[in-house]
Amino acid sequence: MRWVMILTYFAVTMVTLVLMSIYILGVLRENLQNNESAQLFAKANMISDTIAPYFENPASFDGDMQTRQILAGTSIRGVAVNQSCTVIYDSNEQSSLTGKVLMRDIINTAMSGEQAQSITKSEEGKTVMAVAVPIMSSGKALGAVYLNETVDNIDNTVSYVQMNMLLFSAMISILVGMLSLGISYVITSPIDDFIKVAKEISKGNYKMRLEVHGHNELSEMAEAMNLMSDELENIDETHKKFISDVSHELKTPLATIKLICDSIVDTKEPDIEMIREFLSDLSNEVDRLTRIVERLLTLTKIGSQEETAALMPVDFNVMLNAVISRLAPNAEAKHIMLYGDFDAQTIAPILIDYDKMWEAVYNITDNAIKYTPENGSVRMELHSDGNEIAVAVADSGPGIPEEERDRIFERFYRLDDSRARETGGTGLGLAIAKEAVLLHGGRITVTTSEMGGSLFTIYIPCRRAEGADIVH
């Protein structure tokens, strides 16, 4: 990652610099050449104007002085040719071309009345710039002035600039290299931390957290990762607590079973009546264990994940009546008056998971009967405001102290442990009810009822499906 970044930065910078250099050098060369050729043309035209009068009679050419003056101080070679390209005058005396025929394309162009220029390489590899302009007299080209000059200075300037740009590019590259190294470090070092923490978490070390600096994508990522760690730690702790709660709950009946068994073994001459009594106790404890395990299974099956809900339209009136008739024998056994106070109401069926909702309503009604003393009463009500359905179960029992009202929904929590155990309670009923209600997006509350006991209310949001079958 780090090297990819550095190389990318480097490549981008290099390509930019190279393209920029090529462009700048091209522009520079063109500019210098344009300048040079403009000068050459100016001089050629001056010479052409000066010597034109002599061309009326080329034999008596005497433009040497003026030409020399014009070319003074330069390394330009000046040549004048007549119409048949024979050299009349050459400013270079050492290798004078006077009298010879000089054939050049640009001289031919000049003869037709137009000026022309060319850039060529000499045999020694030097760049030579040449221009040719016509010598005009009464609208006719009588000959041409041909100037040429080695333009080494342009080449020199260009290569000097090129050299400097190379140096400059090298410096920029080093700078970019260092900068990208720094940037890549800034970007990748938090990622290294991420990897480290993620590895720790995968090993089960949920306590690891990332430091969050500033406010950018990386810090948001770190926050998200920390949230994930929080959640994992939470789940981990919940699991551990669940297992320890379960083990603790199972230990008590197992200890009782062990005690009963030992008692039977230790009794020297047990009579059959006594053994029967022990065995009946044993059976009760086994029932208790079975109940705990069954309820635990129910609890894990419910889970508050909506995907597991099998929704169907249910008429609550019908469901509540079914719960009442199921629990009627329990109530009768304690001479408790159990009744529903919702006959007059008709509430349209709503979408729920029937089995799970049954479990919730059954558990709170069962509790109301269980914890209400003999000759008391339990009343069930059903209300709806169109958005929510409320199922209320009120009893005339002992009620629940305010400070305990949150805790009773925890797993295995019982107000009076020994009494609740006698009544066969597992402490899981309300936990199951709460899970089932949460699964439906609802809530469950507990307050004091008008009868002086407790009032449990389940609220479920109304979800309706048109035209679906009603399940009773």
Ligand X SMILES: Nc1ncnc2c1ncn2[C@@H]1O[C@H](COP(=O)(O)OP(=O)(O)O)[C@@H](O)[C@H]1O
Residues forming contacts to ligand X in the complex (CB under 6 A) are 363, 367-368, 371, 395, 397-398, 400, 408, 413-416, 420, 425-431, 454
376 makes contact with Mg ion (CB under 5 A) = no
The DSSP 8-state label assigned to residue 59 in this structure reads G
365 interacts with Mg ion by CB under 5 A: no
Q: Which of 424, 408, 462, 416 is nearest to 440 (CA)?
A: 462
**Residue 372 binds Mg ion, judged by CB under 5 A:** no
Given the complex with ligand X, which of 135 and 368 has the nearer CB atom? 368
Closest contact distance (angstroms) between CB of 411 and ligand X is 8
Q: By CB under 5 A, tell whether 427 contacts Mg ion.
A: no
Tell me which of ligand X, Mg ion, none is bound by residue 44, counting a contact when its beta carbon lies within the kind-specific cut-off of 5 to 8 angstroms: none
Residue 254: partners with Cβ closer than 8 Å, 6 or more residues away: 289
Q: 67 is in the binding site of which of ligand X, Mg ion, none (Cβ under 5 to 8 A by kind)?
A: none
Nearest residue to 33 via CA among 126, 124, 119 = 119
C-alpha–C-alpha distance, residues 11 and 14, integer Å:
5
Q: At what angle do helices 152-202 and 217-266 cross, to 10 degrees?
A: 20
Alpha helices in 52-151 (DSSP H): 64-71, 105-111
Binding of Mg ion by 397 (CB under 5 A): no
Alpha-carbon torsion (10, 15, 17, 18), positive or negative = positive
Q: Choosing among ligand X, Mg ion, none, which partner's interface includes residue 415 (Cβ < 5 to 8 Å by kind)?
A: ligand X
Task: Give the whole-angstrom CA distance, residue 334 versus residue 380.
Answer: 17
Angle at 200 between CA 196 and CA 201, to 5 degrees: 115
Binding partner selected for residue 414 from Mg ion, ligand X, none, CB under the kind-specific 5 to 8 Å limit? ligand X
Query: Measured from the CB of residue 368, what is the shortest distance to ligand X in angstroms?
Result: 4
Written as one string, the DSSP assignment of 301-313 is HHTT-GGG--EEE
Taking the C-alpha atoms of residue 322 and residue 362, their distance in angstroms, rounded to an integer, is 10
**Partner whose footprint covers residue 368, from ligand X, Mg ion, none (CB < 5 to 8 Å by kind):** ligand X
- Binding site partner of 28, from Mg ion, ligand X, none, Cβ cut-off 5-8 A by kind: none
> Please, what is the minimum distance in Å from the beta carbon of residue 366 to Mg ion?
6
- Please report how close the Cβ of residue 427 comes to Mg ion at its closest, in angstroms: 8
Cα–Cα distance for residue pair 455/368, rounded to 1 Å: 9
Q: How far apart are CA 440 and CA 446, in angstroms?
A: 18
Residue 63 or 429 having the CB closest to Mg ion: 429
Distance CA 225, CA 199 (A): 12
Contact 457, 392 (CB under 8 A): yes
Taking the complex as a whole, the smallest distance from the CB of residue 376 to ligand X amounts, in Å, to 10
- Kindly determine how many residues on this chain lie close enough to bind Mg ion according to the rule CB under 5 A: 2
Give, in degrees to the nearest 5, the angle at Cα 150 between 117 and 25. 80
From the list ligand X, Mg ion, none, partner contacted by residue 260 (C-beta under 5 to 8 A by kind): none
Site track 429-458 with Mg ion (rule: CB under 5 A), x = hit:
x-----------------------------
Which of the listed partners (Mg ion, ligand X, none) does 78 bind, with a CB threshold of 5 to 8 Å by partner kind?
A: none
By the rule CB under 5 A, 13 interacts with Mg ion: no
Strand segments, DSSP code E, in 237-384 are: 311-314, 337-340, 350-353, 377-384
Measured from the CB atom, the residue of 64 and 245 that comes closer to ligand X is: 245
- The residue whose two tokens read 């220029």 is 117
The nearer residue to ligand X, 194 or 413, going by C-beta atoms, is: 413
Near Mg ion by CB under 5 A: residue from 67, 148, 367, 384: 367
User: Least distance in Å: CB of 254 to ligand X?
Assistant: 18
298 binds Mg ion (CB under 5 A): no
Binding residues (CB under 5 A) for Mg ion: these are 367, 429
